Amino acid sequence: MIVVGWLDEFMWGSLVVLQIFFLALIMAVTWGLLGAAAKLSSNRAAKLTATVFTTIFRGTPELLVLLIIYFGSAITLTSIAQFFDPEVKFVDIPPLWAGSFAVSLIIGAYATETFRGAFQGVDPGTVEAARSLGISSTKTFFYVRLPQMWRLALPGFGNHMLSLVKDTALVSVIGLEEILFTADIATSVTIQPFTMYMVAALIYLGFTTVIMYGVRLMEKRANRHLEGGR
């Protein structure tokens, strides 16, 4: 099997995908929570900012977002650097970070909508009950709203995680040696595109299967308090 010679490269590529996945996941959850909080707040400026955010990042092709963020940040950084030292040719944000950041903005925009809907599904009576017990609003958020919202957000958020894994394949265009990038190189050397792309696809399928299974477990856990309801 010709694939065996490339297993090392594919493994490194998988590690890069995992790195992007976790970096972007943490950032996407952050944007999603901030975005949902902004959309639900009574502050008009915050609302507007969040709406602009979700409109832009849900409405632009993902590949373009990635390219614009990577090259946009590189051009900005380069011109700043050249201001201090005209000899400098090109400065960029490390592609791993630029890629994770771009992907996190896209997924964060979708997560904003999911989280907003889930927060609205939380019975406000439970929040009042917590406040009437003297629990501070911050603690009420973490101990009463968030756990209830999480159950409602999980199905949608599970889908966002799948999109996130698949979006990591885009990051090859800015030169990150992830799985698709490896498949491209392997193809150009071995001239066996079908085999190499199949390997890449199977690796992605492995990741997404694990995520789907994980989300199912989490949903079961989040719903256990509803079992045997009357």
Partner 1 sequence: MAQTEQDPIIRLKNVDKFFGDFQALKKVNLEVFKGQKVVVCGPSGSGKSTMIRCINRLESHDGGRILVNGIELNDSLRNIDAVRSEVGMVFQQFNLFPHLTAVGNLMLAPRLVRKKSKAEAREIAMRYLERVHIPEQADKYPVQLSGGQQQRVAIARALCMNPEIMLFDEPTSALDPEMIHEVLDVMVELANEGMTMICVTHEMGFARSVADLTVFMDAGEIVEAKPPQEFFENPEHERTRLFLSQILSH
If you compute the radius of gyration of the chain from its CA atoms, what whole number of angstroms results? Answer: 21
**Which residue of 133, 191, 194, 217 would you call a contact of partner 1, by CB under 8 A?**
133
Q: State the Cα–Cα distance between residues 38 and 104, nearest whole angstrom.
A: 18
- CA angle in degrees (0–180, nearest 5) for 152-154-160: 130
Q: How far is CA 40 from CA 18, 28, 92, 113, 120, in A?
A: 32, 18, 36, 11, 8
Site track for partner 1 across 97-126, x = CB under 8 A:
--------------------------x-xx
Which stretch, 11-19, 45-53, 79-87, 218-226, contacts partner 1 (CB under 8 A)? Answer: 218-226
**Which residue of 54, 100, 114, 148 would you call a contact of partner 1, by CB under 8 A?**
148
Smaller CB distance to partner 1: residue 130 or 176?
A: 130
Which stretch, 26-34, 146-154, 157-165, 170-178, contacts partner 1 (CB under 8 A)? Answer: 146-154
Closest distance of CB 136 from partner 1, Å:
7
Q: Is 143 in the site for partner 1 (CB under 8 A)?
A: yes
Closest distance of CB 122 from partner 1, Å:
9
Which stretch, 9-17, 35-43, 112-120, 143-151, contacts partner 1 (CB under 8 A)? Answer: 143-151
Q: State the Cα–Cα distance between residues 99 and 207, nearest whole angstrom.
A: 19
Smaller CB distance to partner 1: residue 17 or 130?
A: 130
**Which residue of 23, 40, 88, 135 would you call a contact of partner 1, by CB under 8 A?**
135
CA 2 to chain CA centroid, nearest Å:
34
Which stretch, 38-46, 103-111, 138-146, 184-192, contacts partner 1 (CB under 8 A)? Answer: 138-146
**How many other C-beta atoms lie within 10 A of the C-beta of residue 102?**
28
List of residues 6+ apart from 154 with CB closer than 8 A: 215, 218, 219, 222
Q: Is 144 in the site for partner 1 (CB under 8 A)?
A: yes
Q: State the Cα–Cα distance between residues 27 and 34, nearest whole angstrom.
A: 11
Q: Is 42 in the site for partner 1 (CB under 8 A)?
A: no
Closest distance of CB 119 from partner 1, Å:
14
| Positions that interact with partner 1 (CB under 8 A) | 123, 125-126, 128-136, 139, 143-144, 147-148, 151, 224-230
